[in-house]
Amino acid sequence: MLKVGITGNIGSGKTTVSRIFEILGVPVFYADDAAKTVMVEDPILIDSLKKEFGGESYFDDGSLNRKHIASIVFHNETQLAKLNAIVHPAVFRAFDNWVGSIKEAPYVMKEAALLFESSSYKMCDKTIMVTAPLELRISRVMQRDNLSHAEVESRNARQFPEEKKTQLADFVIRNDDTELVIPQVLELHRKFSSLVQ
Ligand code: ATP
């Protein structure tokens, strides 16, 4: 099964673009949603997290104590790297299981904000980077999440710069209001579908 990774920095529109692929019949795995699920469902991950960050990482009902985890990793790169080293492999396992469950599809996609940062792009046959200028991305997210300009800017600063990811990606979709998005999606859809015929 051909695996296509799709990413983009905050507010680029990677989820919006992924939904268009879904409308075309392409199954999409949303890695960020999967990360939230595995944190409360994957026994290996739960065990590792408790060992690393303490039993108080979970409440008695099994739900995640997000505040506790956030307070440890927020301003500490080393702790954040430790958290990622626990969560990313669990998401990789979930993706593998999910791919195995797909019976029929021309290809599948993995949507992940940190596709390149987490090295999960290495598990994909092709990659797409969705781009848009910083100010446009910031204004989209301010509107969507009711955040300040500075808050969105600081979240963006934690991701690799767009230029770096654009260089690493096989394909780029420009979602910057200067080019229509659907024709760009259709062109890639035709390309990927023909690769597997
Ligand atoms: P994040 O990394 O923050 O999850 P994202 O890259 O997945 O963001 P989306 O959630 O798809 O981005 O888009 C961000 C916001 O911008 C959403 O509210 C979405 O509806 C809007 N948006 C995306 N693309 C466009 C567009 N071409 N025109 C207008 N609004 C758009």
Of 64-68, 90-94, 157-161, the poorest mean pLDDT is in: 157-161
Which of 6, 15, 177 has most ligand 1 atoms within 8 Å of its beta carbon, as the pocket-test mutant?
15
Return the best residue to mutate from 19, 114, 140, 182 for the ligand 1 pocket (most ligand atoms within 8 A of CB).
Answer: 140
Ligand 1: distance of its center to the CA of 16 in Å? 6
**Domain end point (choices 79, 101, 123):** 101
**Residue type (1 letter), 183:** P
Give the CATH number for residue 73. 3.40.50.300
Judge whether residue 196 has pLDDT over 80. Answer: no
Mean pLDDT of the chain: 95
162 pLDDT above the threshold of 80: yes
Residue 119's pLDDT band (cuts 50, 70, 90): confident
pLDDT at 44: 93
Distance from the alpha carbon of residue 120 to the mean position of ligand 1, in angstroms: 22
Residue 131 and residue 181 in one domain: yes
Q: Is residue 140 a contact partner of residue 177, using CB atoms and an 8 Å limit? A: no
Q: Is 11 within 8 Å of 138 (Cβ atoms)?
A: yes
Q: What is the mean predicted confidence (pLDDT) over 126-141? A: 97
Residue where a domain terminates, one of 101, 130, 162:
101
pTM score, whole prediction: 0.92
Pairing of strands 108-111, 3-8: parallel
Q: What is the pLDDT of residue 64?
A: 96
Collapse the DSSP code of 44 into the 3-class scheme (helix H, G, I; strand E, B; otherwise coil) and give the result: helix
Domain holding 174, by residue range, is 1-27+105-197
Structural domain count of the chain: 2
Give residue 17's pLDDT.
98
Give yes or no: residues 147 and 194 share one domain.
yes
Q: Is the CB of 112 under 6 A from ligand 1?
A: no
Q: What is the mean pLDDT of residues 18-34?
A: 97
